[in-house]
């Protein structure tokens, strides 16, 4: 097969999930196998945006004595 899909990202409507495409394998002339990794930030973006939290920052000051 000389033609392969040139994609690196996909969305599965049934599960409302976004994926990074890692590899595409031709099974035959009309069928392709996609190996994917979930894009958690895109998939859960709405939930992440609704989250509230508290950010604390602490610095450790080192004093040097001679």
Q: pLDDT of 36-57, one tens digit each?
A: 999 999 999 999 999 888 877 7
Say what the pLDDT of residue 60 is. 75
Who has greater pLDDT, 66 or 57? 57
Question: Which residue reads 């409507």 in tokens?
Answer: 13
Predicted TM-score (pTM) of this structure:
0.67
Strand order in the sheet with 17-26: 9-12, 17-26, 32-38
What contacts 13, CB < 8 A, 6 or more positions away? none
**Using CA atoms, how far apart are residues 66 and 61, in angstroms rounded to an integer?**
16
């Amino acid at each position: 097969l000389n033609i392969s899909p040139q994609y690196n990202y996909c969305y599965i409507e049934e599960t409302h999930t976004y994926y990074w495409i890692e590899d595409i394998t031709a099974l035959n002339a009309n069928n392709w196998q996609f190996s994917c990794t979930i894009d958690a930030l895109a998939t859960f973006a709405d939930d992440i945006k609704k989250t509230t939290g508290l950010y604390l920052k602490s610095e450790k000051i080192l004093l040097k004595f001679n």
